[in-house]
Structure 1
Amino acid sequence: MQVSIETTEGLERKMTVGIPAEQLDGEVEKRLKEAAKTIQLNGFRRGKVPLKVVKQRFGAGVRQEVMGDLINKTFPEAVQQEELKPAGQPAIEPKEIAEGADFEYVATFEVYPELTLNSVEGYDITKLNAEVTDADLDKMVDILRKQQASWTVVERAAKTEDKVVIDFEGTKGGEAFEGGSATGQDLVLGSGQMIPGFEDGVVGMSAGEEKVLELTFPEDYHAEDLKGAAVEFKVTVQSVNEQELPELNAEFFKNFGTEVETEEAFREEVKNNMERELKNAAKNKLKTQVMDKLVDAHEVELPKALIAGEVDALRQQTAQQFGGGAQNLDLKSLLPDTMFQEQAERRVALGLIVSEIVQAEEIKVDADKVKAMVDEIASTYQQPEEVVNYYYGNQQLLAGVESVVLEDQVVDFVLSKANVEEKDSSYEEVIKPANQ
């Protein structure tokens, strides 16, 4: 096997592999002879078809099959021989050859970049400390009650937290604009569903009342032609509905998948969930800071194949959030690559940096931490032991947990060398997404 490497651009490599004619032809001959023992053609008894006839009828197909098998066998051998680390699948182009000539193919692929680790000493990191207070718990229970609330029509002016049913027509410079009108629209006042000033303008209106609101769209509004635009909304209220919160009883508790009977027990379960959420949010914010520092401290040449793979994964992940129907849609048109490009590049860069730290520091997956994470996942189910057994019986699921644990161990390693400042915070501040 002859191998030559050409660097085309950046991380791309073209590898030409040559295989001696006798190796290809010998394997083709061998398979045709084996086939001849069982082939049955008109005019010949089974196993008595002359090799020449077998070759005429099946030679081209067998030759293609052997070429494919040789590519699959020799590509990894050639990569290992040349000490290359392909990133993504290669594009393989066999060269046209005549019988008796050496077989050649060209494999084009990217390789992983050579990454030089910079020092991770002295990163400035802020660790947020918070606890779930009684006020936090009261607010969460109130939110859960509002999720299960019913609505009753009332004959009075609307106030904040009422639900109104409205018709509205939006105009800009006297002309209707797309998405600016609706009939029979439900709107909870104070929910922030509409642009600033709209809901405040409806407060105080009664059923049957009509009003024109003069408003301005925010400068950062998503529709380009409406950014900062002065508009008018003609609003008609159909009905005003008052919220009725459910009682805290066993029937209400069952709506949240719990079998508790008392308010005290329900509040305890809610608090446990909030504390778990708080712990994970604080951990994730700490981890995000570390990862941001690592990305900022390293310049990494990114393989396009890995970015494309991450873009596809993020697109599928987003599509799943819209339900199973999304699988029948043209996802690339609905969710173009540009939506995920930046996030995909960050994920690829982090993957390369974390992998390099794992190798350089010889970090091994901590089996006890893997078990602790599986136990924590299982604790949210009614039959935790079954979930634990399921994870340890499914290598793919377990590998996913091990990957997260290994990443967490890298974070711990970086934190051990960082300047960590602890800061008292609140439950809401910690669980709030970083971009809000």
Structure 2
Amino acid sequence: MQVTTEAVSGVARRLNVSVPTGRINEQFEARLKRTAKTAKINGFRKGKIPLNVVRREYGAGIYQEVVNDIIRDTVFEAIQQEKINAVGMPNIEKVENTEDALVYEATVEVYPEVEVKAFDGLEVERQISEIKDKDVDQMIENLRKQRQTWVNTKGMAKKDMQVTFDFEGSIDGEIFDGGSAQDYKLVLGAGQMIPGFEDGIIGMKSGEEKVIDVTFPEDYQAENLAGKAAQFKITLKQVEKAKLPEVDAEFLEIFGLAEGEGVDKLKADVRKNMEREVKNGLRNQVKAATFDALVAANEIEVPNAMVAQEIDRQRQQMIQQFTQQFGAQGANAFDASMLPDDLFKEQATRSVKLGVLVSTVLANAKLEVDQARVDAYIDEMSTSYEDPAEVIEYFKNDQQQRSQIEAVILEDQVVDYILASAKVTEKEISYEDLLKEQQARQQQQG
């Protein structure tokens, strides 16, 4: 077999393959004889059919099968022979039978060979954050709000109060489907309703009726309502204000504090959890900023096959999230065609580029996972569980789970390696803003 290779692009190679006719004829004759033993042709006994009759009846089909099998086998032989680091399946073109050989072309995508630019040209912003006493106090206030109760009030409805009401919506005097409800509960200011709706209720009292004018947003999900002016008749039935629990022994017990342990112990525990959040948030921020800079500085071409695989992975991940959120019944009603490739392509392409670049950095720097950092990461993570020792033992004995942690640590090592040469500037950020950024980043990633 003769093979020549030419570059079609940075990530594609064309192989010109020539397979001697003798190899094809040898397999053809062998398969023809096997067919003769099992073929059924009227007028002949099974296994006694002359070879020339089998050739006349089945020869064309058998020959085509042999050609297909030869191409299937030899294309991978050719890829190995030429030491091509292929990704995806080869595309076969221009198949031709000559007197001496079967000749065809095969185009295959290859793993990119990348020369990563020097890191001293990268500019990375590293955020720093410190937990302040007011952050801890606000967190405890949030914990109280999570356990708040509602008490009736005869005063006017204000922001952050909960109201119970009936409403009936109409457009040009005509009531529309889905625009009415009874005993609807709403915390004013939560932004659950269309613009202007909640503002129209503020100032009302229990037992009061009112008609408010609103306009549906232009991008409203119901196309028949988008951009239209509407009127809502509101009948306010109840106004309630929040009542926060006292930070007393009963409240402290909710968080596992023993009798005699007071607010100071709660604050210490809360601060410890917040510091863990900050550490993880800052780690994720600088990793994202470093990798963004790395991708921006290295414009590389990646194979379509790798992008397609990443699109499939992201699609399956989204379907799994849908299943977790809505259960098996919701998943069965979910149509994967609702998630077209274009929905994932940009993010998938970036992920593939980043993966290639990080792999190249790892290879060039000869980085290996630091097992001490892995153990430290697991130890730190375990402290947020009721039984840390059980968590540590779990990751010690489950290699698959440990491998996932090792992948995270190896990425951290790549970040450290890059930052050692990059231009790093520091920016202070509040605890609250750090968490908001982290939530936004998670939403962008899926």
Query: TM-score band, normalised by the shorter chain?
Result: 0.7 to 0.9
Three-state SS of the structure 1 residue aligned to 2:236 is: strand
Aligned 8 A contact 2:10 2:112 in 1: no
Deviation at 1:69, TM superposition (A): 11
Which amino acid is the alignment partner of residue 300 of structure 2? Answer: V
The aligned counterpart of 1:211 is 210
Contact 1:282–1:431 (8 Å) recurs in 2: no
Aligned equivalent of 2:83:
83
Q: Please name the residue that 2:311 is paired with.
A: 311
Residue aligning to 1:286:
286
Deviations 1:281-338 (A, max 9, x none): 1221212211111111111112222222222222333333331425424342333333
SS at match of 2:279: helix
Change (3 A) 1:321 1:330: closer
Whichever residue aligns with residue 162 of structure 2, its letter is: K
Counterpart-to-counterpart distance in 2, 1:2 and 1:220: 61
SS in 1 for 2:372: helix
Partner residue of 1:259 out of 242, 256, 266: 256
Deviations 1:115-162 (A, max 9, x none): 222222143322222222222122222222222223334443222221
Q: Which amino acid aligns with 1:377?
A: M
- Return the letter of the residue paired with 2:304: K
2:122·2:294 contact (CA, 8 Å) conserved in 1? Answer: no
Please give the secondary structure, in 2, of the residue aligned with 1:289.
helix
Secondary structure of residue in 2 paired with 1:241: strand
Whole-Å separation in 1 of the counterparts to 2:394 and 2:72: 34
Equivalent residue number for residue 113 of structure 2? 114
Partner SS state of residue 321, structure 1: helix
> 8 Å contact 2:11–2:112 — kept in the other structure?
yes
The match for 1:433 is: 437
Is 1:319–1:331's contact at 8 Å kept on the other side of the alignment?
no
TM-score, with normalisation over the residues of structure 1? 0.75
Within the candidate set 362, 369, 394, 2:366 is matched to 362
Q: CA deviation at 1:192?
A: 2.5
Deviation readout 1:72-92 (Å, 9 max, x if unpaired): 997766434322222245679
How far has the Cα of 1:342 moved from its partner?
1.9
Question: For residues 90-133 of structure 1, what are the alpha-carbon distances to aligned partners after superposition, in whole Å with 9 as ceiling and x for unaligned?
Answer: 6799x999xxx999998764212232222221433222222222
* Aligned pairs, number: 425
Change (3 A) 1:137 1:68: farther
After TM superposition, give the deviation of residue 360 of structure 1 in Å: 2.0
Distance 2:80 2:2 in 1: 13
Letter in 2 for 1:332: A
Q: 1:36-435 counterparts in 2 under 5 A?
A: 78-88=78-88, 109-170=108-169, 181-216=180-215, 231-248=230-247, 252=251, 258-261=255-258, 262-264=261-263, 265-322=265-322, 323=324, 324-325=327-328, 326-433=330-437, 435=440
Residue 239 of structure 2 aligns to which amino acid in structure 1? Answer: V
Residues 205 and 360 (structure 1), Cα distance of their counterparts in 2 relative to 1, 3 Å cut? same
> Which has the larger displacement, 400-409 or 169-178?
169-178
- Ranges in structure 2 where 5+ consecutive residues have no aligned partner: 31-46, 49-53, 55-65, 442-446
SS of corresponding position for 2:119 = coil
- Cα 1:79–1:368, aligned 2, differ >3 Å: closer, same or farther? farther
Aligned-partner Cα distance in 1 for 2:433–2:383: 26
Q: In structure 2, how many angstroms separate the alpha carbons of the residues matched to 1:394 and 1:79?
A: 37
SS at match of 2:238: strand
- Offset, 1:350: 0.8
Deviates more, 1:148-157 or 1:337-346: 148-157
Aligned-partner Cα distance in 1 for 2:2–2:173: 75
- 1:315 partner amino acid: R
Q: Distance in 2 between matches of 1:14 and 1:239?
A: 75
Is the CA contact (8 Å cut-off) linking 2:128 and 2:429 kept in structure 1?
Answer: yes
Task: Work out the CA distance in 1 between the residues paired with 2:14 and 2:174.
Answer: 59
**CA–CA distance in structure 1, aligned partners of residues 25 and 256 of structure 2:** 72
Q: Secondary structure at the match of 1:243?
A: strand
State the percentage of identical aligned residues.
43
- Kept in 1, the 8 Å contact 2:122–2:297? The answer is no
Provide the C-alpha distance between the structure 1 equivalents of 2:333 and 2:3, rounded to a whole number of angstroms. 44
Deviation at 1:177, TM superposition (A): 7.1
Change (3 A) 1:112 1:234: farther
Structure 2: how far apart are the matches of 1:312 and 1:176?
Answer: 44
Query: Residue 17 of structure 1: CA displacement?
Result: 7.1
Opposite residue 260 of structure 1, the aligned amino acid is: L
Sort the Cα spacing of 1:383 and 1:223 in 2 relative to 1 into closer, same or farther, 3 A. same
What amino acid is aligned across from residue 334 of structure 2 in structure 1? D
